[in-house]
Amino acid sequence: MEEQIHPNRDRLAGIKDFYDKQYKKLLIIPFALLLIAIALISFKYATTGDFINRDITIKGGVTVTIPVKSNIDVLSLENSLKNDFPGNDISVRALSQFGTQVGIVVEGDVSESEAHSLIEKIRQRANLRLGEKDYTVEIVGSSLGISFFREVVTALLIAFAFMSIVVFLYFRTFVPSMAVILAAFSDIVVTLAIINLLGVKLSSAGIAAFLMLIGYSVDTDILLSTRVLKRKEGTVMDRVLGAVKTGFMMTLTTIVAVIAALVFTQSEVIKQIMIILLVGLFIDMINTWIQNVGILRLYVERKERKHLQH
């Protein structure tokens, strides 16, 4: 039994030793991720004129929801509709219940005047007999969608600004406060870049998920900063490891809950929120326990050196 335990202890001790001694080199990881994410978002903006993939609710267009009794090949239908509307962004997804397809949703950034033409093409391509009561149509004007998008982004920026002010008021020191703010900023930017790469079309609810991500990020970062700066018992690394144990447990329990919601929910809106949170939580683990830890250790060590000199 002892032979099985000792290798595990040695491995854990090796990880702790590497984490303790190589924290400066580890800082390369989060900063490289942030720079790559900024480059990807900038490239997307330069090539498409937008920094995210927006869906109909924040871009404007038509959403057609059709209940079905037999399975429809959504990929084939989507390709056909894209050929019929080459200048528009058309997407088709299936609605499922207990693993059975019960409907389809067709979204397109077409104008209100083109809505009837879109429905006709859906009828033809999917071989459906559609009466006026056999489908629902939701139309969002482009100006309304853009206006709503601006309001949601403004709310996100205001929330981030107020969070920053509260952090500065709490710590009253520049470096630890900026470390928390930088970690939250990195969480949002890197998560957004990954969501873009995954091809997720953000809805208004999806953008609101980034508000939740700010909250999760600040929780772990304030936990870390408080343990390292406010407490005096043990070494800096002892306090970091204590925060790691508590913070990891908080994050892992949240990840389990998010995965459960992602697996069992049938709502596309909830799925999008959970995907964003899941990606963001994993990114937050890197930014909190590598980036923020490294910055705080550099700050504390510099402060201790100045104290010894005096």
CB 60 within 8 A of CB 141: yes
The domain boundary residue, chosen from 140, 167, 196: 140
pLDDT surpasses 60 at 1? no
d(CA 118, CA 15) in angstroms, rounded, equals: 58
Residue with tokens 């009561």: 133
| 297: three-class secondary structure by DSSP | helix
Whether residues 232 and 296 share a domain: the answer is yes
User: Is the pLDDT score of 162 beyond 60?
Assistant: yes
Residues 112 and 236: their CA atoms lie apart, in Å, by 62
φ, ψ of residue 68 to 5 degrees: the values are -130, 155
In a domain, 206, yes or no: yes
pLDDT above 90 covers a percentage of the chain that reads 35
Domains in the chain, number: 2
Residue 148 domain boundaries = 28-53+144-304
Q: Are residues 161 and 118 in the same domain?
A: no
User: Where residue 293 falls among pLDDT bands split at 50, 70, 90?
Assistant: very high
Measured distance CA(296)–CA(176) in Å, rounded: 6
Residue 2: its pLDDT value, please? Answer: 46
In the structure encoding, which two tokens stand for residue 144, read together?
Answer: 């309304």
Least confident of 61-75, 76-90, 140-154, 255-269: 140-154
Q: What is the CATH number of the domain that holds 153?
A: 1.20.1640.10
Q: Say if residue 180 is in the same domain as residue 41.
A: yes
Residue-wise pLDDT for 4-61, tens only, equals 556 667 777 778 888 888 889 999 999 999 999 999 999 999 998 888 888 887 887 8
What pTM, to 2 d.p., does this model score?
A: 0.84
Residue 111 has pLDDT above 90, yes or no: no
3-state secondary structure 31-74: HHHHHHHHHHHHHHHHHHCCCCCECHHHHCEEEEEEECCCCCCH
Please provide the average confidence, as pLDDT, over all residues in the chain.
86
40 & 135 share domain: no
pLDDT band of 205, cuts 50, 70, 90: confident
Pair 215, 243 in one domain:
yes
For residue 75, what is the enclosing H or E element? helix 74-84
262 in the same domain as 134: no
Residue 260 — very low, low, confident or very high, per pLDDT cuts 50/70/90?
very high
